[in-house]
C-alpha cells in the first residue's frame, strides 16, 4: 500500500518535473513563454489524480483479493493527497 501511494504521489511529481527539466536543459524542448517550472510541477501534481491505470496494473500484479484491497487503499490515498495538494 505504501509503495502504491508513494509511486502515485511522489513518482508522478518527480518523474514529470525532472524529465521536463532535463528535456529543457538539453534543448530537446522549450519552456513556453510566460511560464516557469512551477507550472510544470503543478501539472505533475494534477497528473497524480488519475487512478484508473494504477488500479488496473495493481489488479494484474496482485491476484489475491486482500492485496487488491491494499492496492485500492493506496491508490485512493495517493489520488486524494494529490487533490488536497492541488
User: In 3-state terms, what secondary structure has residue 20?
Assistant: helix
**What is the predicted pLDDT for the residue at 9?**
85
- 66-74 contacts at long range (C-beta below 8 A, 24 or more positions apart): 70/1, 70/4, 71/1, 71/4, 73/1, 74/1, 74/2, 74/3, 74/4, 74/5, 74/8
**What is the predicted pLDDT for the residue at 80?**
87
Number of residues that this document lists for the chain: 86
Greater confidence (29 vs 50) lies with 29
What's the whole-model pTM score? 0.76
Greater confidence (86 vs 15) lies with 15
Q: Give me the residue spans of the domains in the chain.
A: 2-85
Contact 45, 82 (CB under 8 A): yes
Residue 20 predicted with pLDDT over 80: yes
31-64 per-position pLDDT tens digit: 988 888 899 999 888 888 877 788 888 889 888 8
Amino acid at each position: 500500500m505504501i509503495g502504491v501511494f508513494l509511486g502515485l504521489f511522489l513518482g508522478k511529481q518527480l518523474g514529470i518535473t525532472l524529465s521536463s527539466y532535463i528535456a529543457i536543459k538539453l534543448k530537446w524542448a522549450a519552456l513556453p513563454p510566460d511560464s516557469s517550472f512551477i507550472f510544470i510541477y503543478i501539472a505533475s501534481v494534477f497528473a497524480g489524480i488519475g487512478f484508473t491505470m494504477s488500479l488496473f496494473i495493481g489488479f494484474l500484479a496482485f491476484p489475491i483479493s486482500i492485496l487488491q484491497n491494499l492496492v485500492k487503499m493506496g491508490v485512493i490515498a495517493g489520488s486524494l493527497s494529490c487533490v488536497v495538494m492541488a
